[in-house]
């Protein structure tokens, strides 16, 4: 789409402007409320939600809302909020939610600004799929999640694995991946095939302060399920 910014165009000095006009990979309007059929991570979120029956779900970095809207479609009685800087994504999410009569609100702002204004002990589930590698300060975002989520709330995170052959340490085109994560207990450095020294950030260490239910890598993605400590 003409005028849209690609990952190679990313500049942290223009962070919000970049994500407002970022060219992302749409799942297609017909898949937005049934994305569990095509995306393993969304199916994972649905399975967790079916067990915990969350009343209020936050989808941080929601793009066009497919994770949140699929969960709300599959788990009746749930409501939620999706947040993203992408104007196009939020407009699409709002339209689909209204058309499908799903109880979802979508907000066009940074997740940092949204969380700062969110109430304490509010969310039953927080979804962050392919987001934590982008944010400027993941420690600050996770602190706000601990504050705004209820005790025992499910926190679901997916992110490209450092060791992935596709989006891992060898990928130097995607400049908006500020950091990459590993399932290793400790962070480490490695030289990629371009001769660049890169850091693998330990997801175990990143989630200090949470109770980690599961943490595994599948298909080049790390999937972390954590809970807010009681």
pLDDT single digits (tens) 176-206: 899 999 999 999 999 999 999 999 999 999 9
The answer to whether position 178 is within a domain reads yes
Residue 1 in this model has a pLDDT that exceeds 50: no
106 located within any domain: yes
Return the structure tokens found at 208: 């200090």
Give the CATH number for residue 15: 3.40.50.150
2 in any annotated domain: no
For the stretch 17-44, pLDDT in tens is 888 887 678 899 899 999 999 999 999 9
Residue 122 within a domain: yes
Q: What is the pLDDT of residue 8?
A: 81
Task: Identify the pLDDT of residue 6.
Answer: 80
Per-residue confidence at 70, pLDDT binned at 50, 70, 90? very high
Q: Which domain, by its residues, includes 110?
A: 7-228
Beta-ladder partners of 157: 128, 224
> Average pLDDT of 150-172?
95
- For residues 209-228, give the mean pLDDT: 96
Taking the C-alpha atoms of residue 218 and residue 146, their distance in angstroms, rounded to an integer, is: 26
The pLDDT > 90 percentage for the chain reads: 83
Average pLDDT over residues 48-52: 98
Close Cβ partners of 58 (under 8 Å, ≥ 6 residues apart):
80, 81, 82, 83, 118, 123, 125, 126, 127, 148, 149
Residue 2, pLDDT above cutoff 60: no
What average pLDDT does the segment 132-161 reach? 97
Residue 51 lies in a domain: yes
Kindly state whether residue 222 falls inside one of the protein's structural domains.
yes
What would the mean pLDDT of 4-17 be, rounded to a whole number? 81
pTM above 0.75, yes or no: yes
Tally the domains of the chain: 1
Calculate ∠ Cα 186-190-193, nearest 5°.
150
- How confident is the model over 7-20, as a mean pLDDT? 83
* 50, part of any domain: yes
């Amino acid at each position: 789409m003409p005028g849209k910014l690609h990952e190679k165009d990313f500049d942290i000095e223009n962070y919000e402007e970049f994500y407002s006009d970022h060219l992302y990979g749409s799942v297609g309007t017909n898949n937005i409320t049934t994305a569990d059929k095509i995306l393993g991570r969304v199916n994972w979120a649905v399975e967790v939600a079916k067990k915990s029956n969350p009343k209020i779900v936050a989808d941080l970095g929601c793009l066009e809302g497919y994770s949140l809207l699929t969960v709300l479609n599959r788990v009746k009685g749930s409501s939620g909020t999706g947040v993203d800087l992408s104007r196009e994504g939020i407009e699409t999410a709002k339209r689909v939610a209204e058309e499908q009569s799903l109880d979802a609100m979508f907000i066009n702002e940074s997740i940092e600004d949204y969380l700062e204004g969110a109430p304490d002990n509010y969310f039953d589930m927080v979804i962050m799929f392919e987001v934590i590698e982008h944010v400027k300060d993941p420690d600050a975002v996770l602190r706000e999640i601990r504050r705004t989520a209820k005790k025992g709330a499910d926190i679901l995170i997916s992110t490209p694995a450092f060791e992935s052959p596709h989006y891992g340490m060898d990928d130097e085109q995607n400049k908006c991946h500020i950091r990459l994560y590993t399932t290793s207990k400790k962070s480490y450095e490695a030289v990629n095939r371009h001769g660049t020294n890169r850091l693998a950030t330990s997801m175990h260490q990143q989630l200090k302060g949470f109770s980690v239910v599961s943490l595994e890598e599948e298909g080049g993605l790390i999937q972390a399920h954590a809970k807010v400590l009681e």
